[in-house]
Amino acid sequence: MTNKALVVEGGAMRGIFASGVLDAFLDQNYKPYDFAIGVSAGASNLLGYLSNAPHRSYQVITELATDKRFFNRTRFARGGDLVDVKWLIEESNRRFPLDSHALFSTPMIAAVTNIETGNADYFQLSPCNLESVLEATTALPIAYKSTPCFSGGCYTDGGVADSIPVKEAYRRGARDITVVLSHPLSYQMRPARAPWLMKRLLARYPGIAESMLVRADNYNQSLEFIRHPPSDATIRVIAPPDEFAVKRLTMNLTLLEQGYQMGLEAGKQHISNRNGIHGLDDQNCHFCL
């Protein structure tokens, strides 16, 4: 039997699209995956999906991530966090408790970036490490001052080293992989515009600085892997349309709602395509532009 994996990209507030996709999946009880891998906001989105909590991710993004206790420019200007990741995790779990039995019934892996090596590490979530791993995978460099440390290492946002961990899904044996992206299919990441500034801001963590400087190359290589997968793998992509207007730090509720609705529609369309309702189209090929 072919192992099936679900990979969900991060992207901060752009994660509203994936929250819509996964809510559409939940609405139709669509859970064909043997395991899932998430990064940053993608990992947060997977919590709601795997624990059978529709609208949880939507509420976390629109009610909590827009709160000044999470995102605060004034606090950042005074030397504090631009985003308080730990508060968001704790408040999310308090307001929207997770069904642990459902959550851990499907293996979930989160990508983090090791601050010493600048490389990606991958942790399977468990009741013992849930909050630590979630904090690490969403700990945006510079914007979040704390450095989560556990299991003998210290980590930052998984998107630094592996924004789309599709290769990791393949390495773990998946040969039927569905990837939910946070950018339209036409997107290509551009190299950092000021390498010297990146190195200066991350002088304490040269491994992270180097990883940030090659992030665009790594990201675009993941897209190439999706476009041209190994001969024994099938990769399907769910991506926002070109008119998707949500940015990394969008706080406008109207734009967030529009992004969520786009995700809902894309999720429904994907299930219809997988059920053969519309016959062959873009979702049935490896990667269609």
- What is the four-CA torsion angle of 111, 121, 96, 13, rounded to 10 degrees? -40
d(CA 164, CA 42): 10
As a whole number of Å, the CA-based R_g of the chain is: 18
What residues contact residue 255 under an 8 Å CB cut-off, 6+ apart?
245, 246
The catalytically annotated residue of 19, 40, 51, 163 is 40
Strand intervals (E) in 64-200: 108-114, 120-124, 149-150, 153-157, 174-180
The catalytically annotated residue of 157, 162, 163, 182 is 157
For 8, the token pair is 């969900």
Quick one: which of 43, 42, 53 has its CA closest to 17?
42
d(CA 89, CA 79): 21
d(CA 25, CA 268): 7
Catalytic-residue membership of 40:
yes
How many C-beta atoms surround the C-beta of residue 77 within 10 A?
A: 9
Strand intervals (E) in 142-270: 149-150, 153-157, 174-180, 234-238
| Residues labelled catalytic | 40, 157
